A and B are shown apart, each in its own frame.
Chain A
Amino acid sequence: MESRSRHFKANAAASLANPVLQTNLKTAKGKFVDKRAIAIKEIDDFEGSREAAKNIRNRVLENLDLWLEKFEESATARGATVLWAKDGEEICRHVAEIGQRHGVQKAAKSKSMLSEEANLNLALTAAGIRPIETDLGEYILQINDNEPPSHIIAPVVHKSLDEVADLFHQVHKTPRKTEIPALTREAREVLREHFLTADMGISGGNFLVAETGSVALVTNEGNGRMVTTLPRVHVVITGIEKVVPTLEDLTLLLRLLPRSATGQSISNYVSVLTGVKTPEERDGPEHLYFILVDNGRADVVGTEFQDMLRCIRCGACMNHCPVYQTIGGHAYGWVYPGPMGSVLTPLYTGLENAIDLPQAATLCNQCGVVCPVMIPLPELLRRLREKQVEKHLRPWFERFALKIWAKVAASPSLYALGSWLGVRYLKWLAGGRDRIAVLSAAPEWTLGRDFPAPEGKTFRELYRKGKK
């Protein structure tokens, strides 16, 4: 997917000005946050579980090369083919080739963020394979002219019931329905046909289990089961960081993932899929491919950003992020929004292509405390800011202002002078009122709020004079 992260500010302004989006975001936030809070109470030792989850993920990352080889060995032993892709283009090439090899005309897809990274649907269409998104949210986006998702768990969180009703009415040419169950049934009927006729199923993978060579897929709708049960060919596309050692480790992570994501104790379907069908079996794919994808991940291994690779894509960080809650996912401009996206996007698409993202956070650490694998997201955002400064990627006036502040704050006498002047200037600006309506030194502040006026003298002046 082409990144629009460079236009973050403009995107965000559009989101703020969109009343429908604002309402939708508010509804969604309430549901996600409250449900998670209830669901984590079912785990007696939630913090201990987070710690254990973090350790499991770290254990793999610390020896990722060997764990990948182990996974490959286990998967191959069960008849799967393991392929590797450096970038999105190579993902597309692999899938197209697999499609051609097996005479595929239609591919049913369950949700895969990597296919978004790779823009896979476009490539499939070009290769003569018809891609059908089967996750309800992703399907809605696909029939809405391939709109990008705005959330990694709830792709159409930005859309209202009304918008979906209009869309179905237009695209399916059916009478307009206004009840969510009726719309869901309509999609079920359209998609059922596709499940039954697809030659290839494409899925992401929530986890790869090294012990058994399995992929674990978590879905609620059952589409993940459909695309891995009915078509002849199953292609799993996952990042190289998704390996976990054992089924026990998988189990622990499965306790945290749905609770953090949607507040469920378990997703309706967890499928652990290993190898191809036996000749006696009545269902299941004859061919199973794993495409293990780098697309920026390998270069994060062993760096100060490695913690980010622990991410299990639960979405809790964005659900709890004050910025995400205010502007939604599209503003971030690439596949991953919210705090995790603000770390991943610059790492995967280039620091200079997502200048605003690491800055667009209050560092409130609400994300860090909910992250089930304890990724220190604010600290990673801060490190990215440090990288921006090192590479001279910040605008000149910001660098200038910071340099001045650093100089002034380092020297008590300069600081005394500067603060004496500054405070009087602000007081003068306020003109006798208790607030300043337009602050040209920091125009962004007064775009949406006033700037309270200072008292008029500095603490140090008053303290020195011994008066209160």
Chain B
Amino acid sequence: MRVALFVTCLVDLMRPRIGFAAIELLEAAGCDVIVPAGQTCCGQPVWNSGDRAAAAALAKKVIDEFVGSEYVVVPSGSCADQIRNEYPVILADEPEWRARAVELAGRVYELTDFLVNVAHIKTLPGNFSGSVTYHDSCTGLRGMGIKEQPRALLAKMSGVELKEMAAAEECCGFGGTFSVKFGEISAAIAAKKCGNACATGAQTIVGGDLGCLLNIEGKLRRLGDETTQVRHIAEVLTAKK
């Protein structure tokens, strides 16, 4: 299987190791991975901010860059959702582009979904051990149906103990630009998420979207929690003891 990785701008800037972990996982599942060099951002921030023209330009750029790859895999539910579900909407008025967007939509996957349902990964490269709790990021969950996939992967790791938190499906308060426009509200919502996550006693909070994870980690640290770890699912699945 030939897979093109869409790294996402946030991983590129903040947590490159998640990108490498994704490559490791895809290779472990038997995929040939390429990383198209010109990629930047999927355009979700501008689209959600109401700038249709900018969003359309970035959508076209991504569509062009990922021509011909058998699959496009994204270590983020919300960026994958942007490509799969929003590009056809953004380009609705340009029939040719819309058709290309729909074609791309058919081969773009969120990482854990791809590993479980397309690549049928058998063995994971990591042997993480510890207790974790999983935060379901909103767009991945409600836009891409990501729920069981990360749990199925975690279940393959004998050293992982999954402790489900209350209200795992509730928003962490990140919301992209919302987090910098309404910082206080955003942080107050994050505090509730941290409370629910920590109440499980898990050592590590795991999720599939870096934006949410940065939000949760930032809130934990501000609250004085120095011990609870916050990790992307790809990091956990590749972690070595």
Contact = CB atoms under 8 A, between A and B. Distances in A.
Interface of A: 9, 12-13, 16, 322-323, 325-327, 356, 359-366, 368-369, 382, 384-390, 394, 398, 402-403, 405-406, 408-410, 412, 415, 419, 422-423, 434-435, 442-452, 454-455, 457-460, 462-464, 468
A365 B143 contact: yes
Nearest to B65: A412
A411 to B, nearest CB: 8
B40 A423 contact: no
Contact of B57 (A410, A422, A446, A463): A410
Contacts of A322: 170-171, 173, 189, 192
A70 to B, nearest CB: 34
Interface in B169-227: 169-171, 173-192, 214-215, 217-219, 221-222
Given A405-B46, A449-B215, 19 more contacts: A12-B185, A326-B188, A359-B177, A362-B175, A363-B175, A386-B52, A387-B50, A394-B49, A398-B49, A402-B45, A410-B40, A410-B58, A419-B12, A434-B221, A435-B218, A445-B183, A450-B218, A452-B214, A464-B37
Given A406-B51, A449-B190, A444 B179 contact: yes
B133 interface: no
B218 A363 contact: no
A389 B51 contact: yes
B107 interface: no
Contacts of A464: 37
Contacts of B14: 423, 452, 454-455
A445 B170 contact: no
Contacts of B57: 406, 410
Given A363-B176, A406-B46, A457-B16, A443 B52 contact: no
6 contacts: A360-B181, A409-B46, A410-B40, A444-B182, A448-B184, A449-B221
A455 B138 contact: no
Given A16-B185, A389-B49, A450 B38 contact: no
A382 B16 contact: no
B129 to A, nearest CB: 22
B15 A455 contact: yes
B188 A360 contact: no
Contacts of A16: 184-185, 188
Give the secondary structure class of B's interface: helix
Interface of B: 7, 9, 11-17, 19-20, 35, 37-41, 43, 45-52, 54, 57-58, 61, 138-139, 142-143, 169-171, 173-192, 214-215, 217-219, 221-222
A182 to B, nearest CB: 33
Given A364-B175, A409-B43, A435-B221, A448 B142 contact: no
A412 B171 contact: no
Given A448-B188, A468-B20, A364 B214 contact: no
A360 B7 contact: no
Contacts of A454: 13-15
A443 B175 contact: no
The 8 closest A-B CB pairs, nearest first, are: A448-B187, A362-B175, A444-B183, A385-B50, A406-B54, A364-B138, A364-B171, A459-B16
B50 A362 contact: no
Contacts of B178: 359-363
A412 B40 contact: yes
Contacts of B190: 448-449
B171 A366 contact: yes
A215 to B, nearest CB: 35
A415 B41 CA distance: 9
Given A16-B188, A452-B14, A455-B14, A410 B61 contact: yes
A409 B58 contact: yes
A446 B20 contact: no
